[in-house]
Amino acid sequence: MTIRPDRRTEPTQLRPFSSSQNLLNRCDGSAQFQFDKTAVLVSITGPTEVKFRDEKLDRASLEVIVRPLTGLSSTKERVLESVMRSTFANVILTGLHPRTSIQIVAQVMKDDGCVSVGVIAVCLLVVCGVRYDKLDNSSAKSLTSIAYFGLHQVQSAAINATTMALLDAGIPMNALVGSVTCMVGKEDGEILMDPTMEELSRARSIHTFAFDSASRTSVMMDENGGKGTSGGVVLYSESTGDFTEDEYFGCMSLCQQATHKVHGFVRTAVEKKIEREYQQITGS
């Protein structure tokens, strides 16, 4: 098995992830989730007063704001906002807090350079008087495509951070949401989980999935010959690049298994937090 650039041996191995909870004290809940070099901090405020035009009579209205690492927010952030809004609208029990607003604010804290590398590459090409569309060199083109591939990592981290922040805020949910990213390699069609920037330059397509944690058997699993895992339902799926149907479902099943690990990690993190809180009561 070839060793991956960051010394991982298995294609299905994820990079180490870490998280922190309850970081901010002016909001109702907050958490930061980090996939190696990509980190997103999410704060939750709610249920609070809602603007009249956003008021819904029978449920809370979800408001999502995403801020990029650098610069002003643009259409990319709007896409991520609508992704998160639709994903979490299925999970948060908004019917328990009608005519209120739950505000989710996500700030990208660390980005493993995908976006900035792409921007710098385009700028250098422009300075040298070279037009992008006249390039024959495919690696130069791939540098800029990494810019778009890198967004997937931010989406995964943002979804995981939002789950942990919602747990911290005590907003009622019907399941956890976990998200991972994987890619399909250009030469061999090999599926790699949680790719690094180097691996992304050799990607033909990249996929992000979000699954919920409720343990019911997923109907989709039957098409893959049943890996035997009773997993969650797909809440979100985004793919960029060229891929076949088999590759897509292969990625989905691998991501589902990897998402189990993310859910397990969230569970461990919450247990540790509760343990520490109880220590203050019973121990001291």
- Which stretches of the chain bind another protein, using CB under 8 A? 28, 46-50, 93, 96-101, 167-170, 172-176, 212-215, 266-267, 270-271, 274-275, 277-284
CB of 221 to another protein, least distance (A): 18
CB of 214 to another protein, least distance (A): 4
Q: With DSSP H G I counted as helix, E B as strand and the rest as coil, what are the percentages for the chain, rounded to 5?
A: 40, 25, 35
Nearer to another protein, 176 or 200 (CB): 176
CB of 161 to another protein, least distance (A): 15
Nearer to another protein, 86 or 174 (CB): 174
Nearest to 42 by CA among 128, 144, 141, 156: 156
Q: How far apart are CA 64 and CA 7, in angstroms?
A: 36
Three-state SS at 234: strand
CB of 151 to another protein, least distance (A): 28
Nearer to another protein, 94 or 145 (CB): 94
CB of 67 to another protein, least distance (A): 22
**Residue 117 burial (CB count, 10 A):** 17
Nearer to another protein, 171 or 258 (CB): 171
Please give the sequence-ordered ranges of beta strands (E in DSSP) within the chain, or none if there are none.
17-21, 29-35, 38-48, 61-67, 101-110, 177-185, 191-193, 203-212, 234-241
**Residue 227 burial (CB count, 10 A):** 12
Q: How far apart are CA 178 and CA 160, in angstroms?
A: 6
Nearer to another protein, 126 or 274 (CB): 274
